[in-house]
Amino acid sequence: MTYRSKRLGLFSGKESSSRRAIYKGCGYDDEDLSRPLIGVVNTANDAGLGHVHLDRLAERVKAGILQAGGTPFEFGTIATCGAVPIGTPHFRYELVIRDIVASSVEIMAGVQLFDGLVLLASCDSIIPGVIIGGIRSGLPSIFLSGGPQLVTKFEGRSAVMSELDQLVFGSQYGGEDISEKIRYLEDHVCPGAGACSLMGTANTMQILAEGIGMSLPGSATVPAVYAEKERFATQTGRRIVEMVKQDITPDKILKRENLLNGIILTMAIAGSTNAVLHLLSLARELDIDLNLDDFDRISNEVPVISRVIPTGKATVVDLHHAGGVPAIMGELRDYLHKGALSVSGLTAGEILEDRRSRDHSVLTTAKEPVLPNGGIAVIRGNLAPDGAICRTSTISEKTLSFKGPARVFDSDEEGHAAVVSGSVQKGDVVVIRREGPRGAPGMREMMMTTDALVGLGMGQDVFVVTDGRFSGFTEGAAVGHLSPESDAGGPIAVVEEGDIISIDIPGRRVDVQLTEEEITGRLSKWTAPEPKSKRGILGLCAKTALQAHLGAMLDDRI
């Protein structure tokens, strides 16, 4: 039986001869063009650790498409590795790439007249980028993650990339012993392809893609080099053909309940704070009502049940062997919206049925959690009228309430230089501004400053407050995403050296000890600084990026 595309007529009749000729010139024939035409979005490249192996998975995906009676068309889009530009101004591109990737998928799917999409990606902003592209395309779409990398051993424990970062930025290469450790980790901490095996943004987003229903159940945490990952790739290829025939598009799967499940999982795994930006952006694309209040409410209700680094000592490979995302969902069965659909055709309730943790040292139960409340808190106060974000699982009990004098910097580099020079003392509050969506521009991660503090043993003795964001690798005491940001005239713009800053995580407050009249008076004298970038994609970001509490995407609704 010949497949009849919902784009009926686009590849039949003499008026379609030119487009058929183009595809025939690529080696396809009439039979190929009579089947579901599936775009395979492959973010593989030789420069990204999480993406370097994706060609192998793409071949399996295409095999599955062919087996199910579809015709695959593989195409590439850009994908970066955020660990490479750390410590340089080029780190500013790492969030705005989400918009570029989404647009590239949207454009390719539309121009090439595909019937469905397989979205293949591994890291950070690339994952929500391809998913947003799938949403915009309006085509049936399914996501396949590249999976975590395997893990090296160092001094008798599992070591991941964050440990190397802390040694480098905290030590200033001081001492032969430190240098030897740095060199060893440099050679061994990334043993092969895949996302760094801690609960950074990459693995958080891989897990959430499955948790919100965009991936086949059980696929997200499979390590990059396992044969099981290849089997999931083939199954994903088969499934997208079925989805096309059934016209199962992202908007038919992704409802508010799915995104709420994403928030629940984020809290339970103590996921990266970047998940907040990405879930808000997905909601915006789908015109679903979702805001920071949803995150804060769920954070107060849902316990942390994962011991994956940085919350504990386990890795994502350990989490996979403990049962992966279905097991996480099974342990959260009393919290999740069980009717939420998945690309598999199953509901969340059907996926989690009879699934439980196989290793409570890695993944606990909700009744005996690692922490009683979710790993991310929404913070407000006179420094963050529209909200801020804090990863509570990396803050010690003694540091949850903190007060100290402000040390004010206009970039991560300035903050880092002050920390490693010794001019930042225990009890200080490091305020880093002009690193927000428009100020950076691109909302950089404050990795240099926070890693230096942790590496120097002051991660719980100095608080960092910023309108920038944090890596999923980040440990220590920090509040980020202050909104409005400095360059938008937020109160952080007028904080002065020595102002007393108070942080109350249980009370969900971050405040400068000034009256409302004093803050208003300072703001009345404030003038917006010149943008750090005026041209190119960063210049566009400086002009149009939404504030963090809205997801920080480029505003396409101006």
- The answer to whether residues 371 and 396 touch, using CB atoms and an 8 Å cutoff, is no
Instruction: Determine how β-strand 500-504 pairs with β-strand 37-42.
Output: unpaired
Choice among 219, 281, 471, 483 that is catalytic: 471
In sequence order, the β-bridge partners of residue 144 are 120
Reduce the DSSP state of residue 518 to 3 states and report it: helix
Q: Please indicate whether residue 18 is annotated as part of the active site.
A: no
| Nearest to 95, CA basis, from 205, 226, 219, 213 | 205
Q: The tokens 């529209």 sit on which residue? A: 386
Phi, then psi, of 314 in degrees rounded to 5: -80, 165
513 Cα distance to chain centroid: 33
Q: 61: which residues sit within 8 A by CB, 6+ positions away?
A: 40, 72, 118, 120, 144, 233, 234, 236, 237
As given in the structure block, the two tokens for residue 305 are 């049940």
| Nearest to 216, CA basis, from 203, 232, 231 | 232
In sequence order, the β-bridge partners of residue 97 are none
**Rounded Cα distance, 463 and 427, in Å:** 8
Q: What is the dihedral of CA 467, 471, 476, 482, to 10 degrees?
A: 20
Count CB-CB contacts under 10 A for residue 150: 17
Instruction: Determine how β-strand 401-409 pairs with β-strand 429-432.
Output: parallel
As given in the structure block, the two tokens for residue 154 are 């160092």
Rounded CA Rg of the chain: 23
- The answer to whether residues 402 and 458 touch, using CB atoms and an 8 Å cutoff, is no
- The answer to whether residues 547 and 386 touch, using CB atoms and an 8 Å cutoff, is yes
- The answer to whether residues 467 and 488 touch, using CB atoms and an 8 Å cutoff, is no
Q: The tokens 């695959």 sit on which residue? A: 72
Q: Looking at beta carbons, which pairs linking 500-503 to residues 24 or more positions away fall under 8 Å?
A: 500/403, 500/404, 500/405, 500/406, 501/383, 501/403, 501/404, 501/405, 501/406, 501/429, 501/431, 501/463, 501/465, 502/402, 502/403, 503/379, 503/401, 503/402, 503/403, 503/429, 503/463, 503/465, 503/477, 503/479
Please name the helix (run of DSSP H) or strand (run of DSSP E) that holds residue 38, with its range, or none: strand 37-42
| Nearest to 524, CA basis, from 532, 534, 516 | 516
CA angle 368/206/449 to nearest 5° reads 80
Percent helix, strand, coil in the chain, to 5, is: 40, 15, 40
Any idea which residues carry the catalytic annotation? 471
